[in-house]
Amino acid sequence: MTELLQKVRVIDPVSEIDEQFDVLIADGYIQTVASHISDISSDTQIRDCQGLVLGPGLVDLYSHAGEPGFEERETLLSFLQAAAAGGFTRASILPDTSPAIDNPALVAQLQQKRHGEIRKKEQINSAPPASPAPPTSPLPLLHIWGAITLDVAGKQMTELADLASAGVVGFTDGKPLENLALVRGVLEYIQPSGKPVAFWPSDRHLAANGVMREGSNALRFGLPPIPASAETTAIAAMLELVAAIGTPVHIMRVSTARGVELIASAKAAGLPITASTTWMHLLLDTKAVKSYHTSLHLDPPLGNPSDVVALRAGVRAGVIDAIAIDHTPYSYEEKVQAFAEAPAGAIGLELALPLLWQYLVETEEFTALELWRALSTHPAECLGQKVSAILPHQPAELTLFDPQQTWKVERKSLYTLSQNTPWLGQQLKGRVVKTWC
């Protein structure tokens, strides 16, 4: 199929371009990018894209898929469809499934399901009933994180070499590892593989039974606090190990101003680290918890206002390399509890781009290039991958986004099987029109 996108706003972090062009796409490749394209075949599909945005496909660093083990929360198919509807052309799942992704057989099973059964389902029935998400968008590429420890229990190292050979994108438990001797051993053992390794620094003893970031709002709302030091002491320990061993590390879920400072200092000293925060930690702070909405119970918790300011500045400066979605689906029954008792996490694949654009780009706090870079090229680089520029003869891995389209967040408008989001029932502005993958 040949498609001509006329007068589309091209945002390309690779080429540092934010301009209006015509873009011709054919047979999975970008054919032409020019101010005006008129030389086209008679069967070319022409789309007027005035007001729409075209950028590289979004890349999610890490999220949770329910399958295997928690299919009532999310199946692999619904996860990938939600990612496509949110503009993601690459999606990465964490290994904390049941059973955990700690062996090559399960990696192969998931890959086979993505390339076989799911592709067949996509061709037969590309959208669930009543879903307005674009059926023409292909499923994104699936990347699988391999577990660092057996059953992600933090005790015994997996056969990392076997997992690497099976094709995992990298290694993480997605949970805090408090045994620093084990962490040191992982860094020494994994170095020759060249695969990314990601850690979530968090001291669970300091966090104790807390559910909200320590500060005046935690006192006001009467919720058990988590001190910032639960994150920062663990980051400091991780940085010391990286300095001693030299293995590159990705630091997940940075949520505090002090955490940003520590990472900035480590990067300035030349340590081989990258870092990410999640999209909700950029948008909301502890004031939002006033509603006691259980989808605001996150781990790490939402930061104080000063943390949000520092995180946003960190992303803009590149200290925080990437924005992760950390999509964490839970069933209605699991989330209908008291705030402190409900499991931590919220969905986000279909919501992140519209909300980040609305509250960061339209307010001019971020440029469009800064946001798109943190959602596409930089996450890919954290995974040791590249994203192609929007130039002739490059693969068409693209996302078309309408910043002005309005829609309501409700069950029938979402691909994900879960609804644990504080934006449920609200009207949003901005929606993905199509992806190419």
The residues annotated with a catalytic role in the active site are 326
Structure tokens at 190: 């994994």
Residues 6+ apart with CB under 8 A from 344: 211, 297, 298, 299, 328
Query: Exposure pattern of 258-291 as b/e (b: 16+ CB <10 Å)?
Result: bbbebbbebbeeebebbbbbbbbbbbbbbeebee
Beta strands in 27-130 (DSSP E): 29-34, 45-48, 53-56, 58-63, 88-93
Report yes or no: 245 and 188 within 8 Å, Cβ to Cβ.
yes
The residue to which tokens 């990314």 are assigned? 196
Query: What angle (nearest 5°) sits at the alpha carbon of residue 272, between those of residues 268 and 278?
Result: 90
Q: Which H or E element spans position 199? A: strand 198-199
Report yes or no: 307 and 213 within 8 Å, Cβ to Cβ.
yes
What amino acid occupies position 219? L
Length of the chain: 437
Q: Is 48 exposed, middle or buried (0-12, 13-18, 19+ CB in 10 A)?
A: exposed
- Is-cis flag, bond preceding 99, omega within 30? yes
SS3 category, 149: strand
- In DSSP terms, which residues pair with 48 in a beta bridge? 6
